[in-house]
Amino acid sequence: MTVKKRTNGQNLNLNKVVVGWREWANLPELCIPAIKVKIDTGAKTSALHAFDVKVFRKLGKRYVCFNIHPLQNNNSISRRCIAEVAGERMIKSSNGQEESRYVIRSAIQIGSLRQNIYITLSNRDFMSYHMLLGREAMRLLIVDPAMSFCQGKLTKKDSLAVYNAVLKPKQKRKNNIDMSEPLPVV
């Protein structure tokens, strides 16, 4: 569902997508076809669960390699991801602690909306949602906090099936890095 906004008598076609407080998303550049995302209007920056984080250089650019368990309460499915480092930020968590985090840029798709966003990497193993979508990534969204999965819901069986059908081991990513090659250390 998209919404058109009327301001001062003028019709502006903003095509904002309505989302609930949680949605299923796809991070295609990270080969994560399905991850449950908490839409967090209280957080400025988006965050993605990451562990075994390692930084390396290739062709003069810094990359970060990390693992993720994309499905809640399921450590049997794991993905190894690589992305170019877009920066580092000091993030203050909801409990008030500051932490330095790597920032990556990646496409996210929620329903029909696809956009590039900045995402910080953090170990969210003990959190209910392995991804938070912060305000910086919501410019094309309208959040209905009374709703969930406005853009479609996957069953547990469907989410497992998605992962069983994705990514052959030697497939190369967008950044042209072979996922089976050993990573150089910075």
Q: What pLDDT digit, counting tens, does each position of 51-107 carry?
A: 999 999 999 999 999 999 999 888 889 999 999 999 999 988 777 888 899 999 999
Q: Provide the pLDDT confidence category of residue 1 given band limits of 50, 70 and 90.
A: low
Question: Is 23 a member of any domain?
Answer: yes
Question: Is 180 a member of any domain?
Answer: no
Whole-prediction pTM: 0.81
Question: Is 70 a member of any domain?
Answer: yes
Phi then psi for residue 113, to 5 deg, are -85, 130
For residue 14, give the nearest of 133, 113, 127, 140 by alpha carbon: 140
Per DSSP, what are the bridge partners of residue 46? 119
Q: How far apart are the first and last CA of the chain?
A: 46
Question: Is 22 a member of any domain?
Answer: yes
Number of domains in the chain: 1
Question: Is 178 a member of any domain?
Answer: no
Residue range(s) defining the domain that contains residue 36: 2-164
The CATH number of whichever domain residue 57 belongs to comes to 2.40.70.10
pLDDT of 141:
93
Question: Is 47 a member of any domain?
Answer: yes
Question: Is 185 a member of any domain?
Answer: no
Question: Is 179 a member of any domain?
Answer: no
